[in-house]
Structure 1
Amino acid sequence: MARKALIVIDMINPYDHEDAERLLPSAELAVPVIAGLLENARANGTPVIYANDNFGDWRSHHGEIVEAAMAGARPDLVKPLQPDGTSLFVVKARHSIFYETPLPFLLRQLDADHLILCGQVTEQCILYSALDAHIRHMRLTIPEDGVAHIHPDLAQAALRMMERNMGARVCAAGEVAC
């Protein structure tokens, strides 16, 4: 039986990159929403997968990525979203969660064909990941209050594209059944 998976994209972040200052106001709003999605998914047995940048450190594993983020500029945004003992973790190097990662294999193992994408950045990694999921014939849900952006206008355009061109369900997190 096919099932949903909650994918948390790039939220384990030290916020020390070039666009961090522009991203932070939106991330601050998205973190409590994503924390609620995580709580619901874990309570309902929905797989939680973190797909996270390794920030070019090819010797790091997920624990070190979490440690670096907690030592970064905004540990208050990382702490509520930390992976638990049941979480799965995929390291990515580019914008899409699918590009040269083991995620497609993992999703087949989980028999997951409906992805709930949350995290950052709406107009970059969320959009590119949604497109890659769409071409793999996966169903998509994007909680618009559970994604963070750098450029509000581009984020709105990206959400509209995901809804119109990829058939994604774009809605408030409160409407998402994890």
Structure 2
Amino acid sequence: MPHTETTALVVIDMINTYEHEDAELLLPSVREALPGVRRLITQARDIGVDVIYVNDNFGRWRSHHDEILEIATAGPHADLVEPIKPDEDSLFVVKARHSIFFQTPLEYLLGEQRIGRLVLCGQVTEQCVLYSALDAHIRHMPTTVVRDAVAHIHPDLAEAALRMMEHNMGTQICAAVEAPLHA
């Protein structure tokens, strides 16, 4: 994939019903991260940066993004989905495992869109965000993780994951106001 200076914002697993194990531990952190995620999405849309939602399919093998969004916005935590839901220009990739790259068409999509830099936000810091940053690193793709726009289940593991991403993978860690979004 050619590396260009084009950047995309990747929103990981934020279209969610929160009806899963560890959801009660995750929800307070999602509420804290939501303003940062909203800020990033708004900024990206305002300056013409691609917003790519990469989301778990929750085992619904016939699902597509409209179905996933409909189920999440009809659920008990729709207030966490409504403010950050995809618009008509958003791109959407469905995933089944932790990494945004694992057995998804994301790498192909990034090549087609000539995207060479990623800014990651979403959930879960110590799981999907960490594994996605590692897979971006393996692909030699410059990546930023926005500290105040990622949610965690376990605060200590999230801090360790952020340190690992920064020190072991060269991932830039910053606040939403500092995120390097540019078209």
TM-score bracket for the superposition, by shorter chain length? over 0.9
User: Superposition pairs for residues 75-94 of structure 1, below 5 Å?
Assistant: 75-94=78-97
CA drift at 1:73: 2.0
Q: Which amino acid aligns with 2:26?
A: L
Matched, 1:120 2:153: no
Distance 2:180 2:135 in 1: 22
Q: Which residue of 2 aligns with 1:136?
A: 139
- As a proportion of its length, which structure holds more helix? 1
Instruction: Report percent identity of matched pairs.
Output: 63
1:152 to 151, 155, 162: 155
2:99 corresponds in structure 1 to: 96
Map of 1:20 onto structure 2: 23
Q: How many residues align?
A: 178
In the other structure, the counterpart of 1:71 is 74
CA apart distance, 1:41: 0.3
Distance 1:3 1:173 in 2: 18
* Contact preservation (8 Å) 2:11, 2:122: yes
Letter in 2 for 1:82: K
TM-score, with length taken from structure 2? 0.96
Shift of 1:71: 1.4
1:31 is the counterpart of 2:29: no
What's the CA shift string for 1:65-87, capped at 9, x where partnerless? 00110112200000001000100
Cα distance between partner residues in 2 of 1:16 and 1:122: 18
Partner-residue secondary structure (3-state), 1:144: strand
Partners of 2:113 and 2:140 lie apart in 1 by 16
Q: What RMSD in Å do the two structures reach over aligned CA positions?
A: 0.7
Report the CA distance between 1:56 and its aligned residue: 0.3
- For residues 64 and 24 of structure 2, what CA distance do their matches in structure 1 show? 26
1:63-119 alpha-carbon deviations (Å, 9 max, x no partner): 000011011220000000100010000000000000000000000011111100000
- Unaligned residue ranges in structure 2 (runs of 5+): none
SS of the residue aligned with 1:161? Answer: helix
Indicate if the aligned counterparts of 2:16 and 2:81 stay in contact, CA closer than 8 A.
Answer: yes
Give the structure-1-normalised TM-score.
0.98
The amino acid across from 1:172 in the alignment is A
Displaced runs of 4+ in structure 1, greater than 4 A?
none
1:48 and 1:11 map into 2 onto residues whose CA distance is 13
Letter in 1 for 2:151: A
